[in-house]
Structure 1
Amino acid sequence: MNLKLQAYAEILKRIVNTEYQPGQRISEKELSQDLNIGRTPIREAVLQLRQEGLINVIPQSGTYITKIDLQVAISARFIRESIETRIVKEAAALNDPAYIKNLNTIIANQKFFSHQKEFEKFFGEDEAFHREFYLMTNHQQVWEWLQTTNMQLNRFRMLSLKVKNLPWSNLISEHKKILKAVETHDPEEAERLIANHLHLMLDQKDALLRTFPEYFTNVPSKK
């Protein structure tokens, strides 16, 4: 991996896992020191992250990690639900044994990381669980496309794992039910379960806003 991609991947990871907190001021010098990468690839990575809406440069003020745009995250969830319900329904009609084995392994990994309280690795396995259905149905390109629209949503989801009263076991339980519906060739039930699962973000929204009010922008007003 060249240095620009290495810098981009590491800064992106730290933004998503909130090691670099929403609203935090940063500098190319500090990033270069943190990552032990030269200023030129850091500058190129920052430029790309600015284009993706994750870093903001304010003249005469500085460079900042953008706050989580809640409206963008909600819209990304809507897009994801609209697509993924069809993906999982298609997967239930196929039920490929090799992918079923992978999905069971992913759930086992989630249990382990849940017990270890390793939320970053847990999130990685959560992503892997959903991605597996796209691979099963030969829609990997759709998954990769979704990642470009999911930046704010992924920040929201990672942050939700830090809220103590939002237990990780609920996510694992829902994953098990989705997998069972796929294994038993029940497309309608699989579609219903994944829709409810992806709707969870809306149920978590108020808890996150109460816990991390300073991390969000573009918060829809309550009606």
Structure 2
Amino acid sequence: MSGRLKESVLDRSRQVALQIHEILRRRILSLELVPGTVLSRASLQLEFGVSQTPVRDALMRLQEEGLIEVYPQYATVVARIDIANARQAQFMRLSIELEAVRRLTLESPVETADALLNVLARQERVTSPQTYDLFDSLDRDFHRTLYERAEIMELWFTVRRQSVHIDRLRRLNLPMPGKMQTVVEDHHNIVDSIRSGDPLAATTALRKHLSGTLSIIGLISQQFPDYIKR
């Protein structure tokens, strides 16, 4: 059974609309559904074997997140990547993670570094074009660990909800030559700086890491002009 066919088989013990939303959201964030893709409600009903109501509810959620645009009586399409939204999400994330890293470097440097290194060791093994999804997932796990260690998990969920546009930018950035290796190097620098107990070095390393994708928005826009909201 293919991956898409398998995920289209819903768990009827769970809310159907929520599952459809999760599947479509994953496809959009991974760029399996690229900006501008038309989403046919009838086709979605057929794929998931459901009535129009759960499809409508799932699409409403996606619209609220800014991932699709609905043109009544015309079409529902995957939204373009909103750079202004991405910048605001990055500002929020940077503010939170800089403070988390500063505190953790002062309060539990060795334990935090060990927890991060555990994730990083797995990420280093999947730096190839065939493993983008796993690499990206482990990248999130690396940062999630900071929130767990700082005991601010509610903020992690807030950041994840607000990061949909920058997540798509990162997916365009990852395949660029050397990007995954740079991410791994950045993560090592963050881990080493935390372990050293130097909050300035740790926050400097984190700031450099989180600025990577937004620093080349111009290049991404040139390569993918139809994907970017102007």
The residue type equivalent to 1:155 in the other structure is R
Q: Residue 96 of structure 1 contacts residue 136 of structure 1 at CA under 8 Å; is this kept in 2?
A: no
Alpha-carbon shift at residue 90 of structure 1 (Å): 1.2
Instruction: Evaluate the alpha carbon distance shift between residue 20 and residue 176 of structure 1 in structure 2; reply closer, same or farther with a 3 A threshold.
Output: same
1:215 aligned residue: 227
1:206 to 183, 193, 218: 218
Q: TM-score, with normalisation over the residues of structure 1?
A: 0.90
Tell me how far apart the structure 1 counterparts of residues 49 and 110 of structure 2 sit (CA, whole Å).
44
| Aligned length in residues | 217
Aligned equivalents of 1:150, 1:34: Cα separation in 2 = 28
Q: Is the 8 A contact 2:120 2:187 kept in 1?
A: yes
Partner of 1:221: none
1:179 maps to amino acid: V
Does 1:114 pair with 2:123?
no
Q: Match for residue 75 of structure 1?
A: 88
2:151 equivalent in structure 1: 138
Residue 200 of structure 1 deviates from its aligned partner by: 0.9
Contact 2:113 2:192 in 1 (8 A): no
User: Which residue is 2:7 aligned to?
Assistant: none
Tell me: CA distance 1:94–1:29, structure 2 relative to 1, closer, same or farther (3 Å): farther
Counterpart selection for 1:44 from 32, 57, 61 = 57
- The change in CA–CA distance for 1:88 and 1:213 in structure 2 (over 3 A counts) is same
TM-score (norm 2): 0.87
Native 8 Å contact 1:160 1:166 kept in 2: no
Is contact 1:4-1:44 (8 Å) kept?
Answer: yes
Q: CA offset at residue 97 of structure 1? A: 5.3
**Using CA pairs below 8 Å that are at least 6 residues apart, which structure has the higher relative contact order?**
1
Alignment equivalent of 1:167, drawn from 179, 195, 206: 179
Deviation readout 1:134-189 (Å, 9 max, x if unpaired): 11011111111112221111111122113x33521000000011011112211111
1:59 aligns with 2:72: yes
The equivalent residue for 2:107 is: 94
- Sequence identity percentage: 26
Residue type at the aligned position of 1:31: L
User: Does the residue aligned with 1:64 lie in a helix, a strand or coil?
Assistant: strand
Note the residue ranges of structure 1 that are not aligned, 5 or more in a row: 219-223
SS of 1:57's equivalent in the other structure is strand
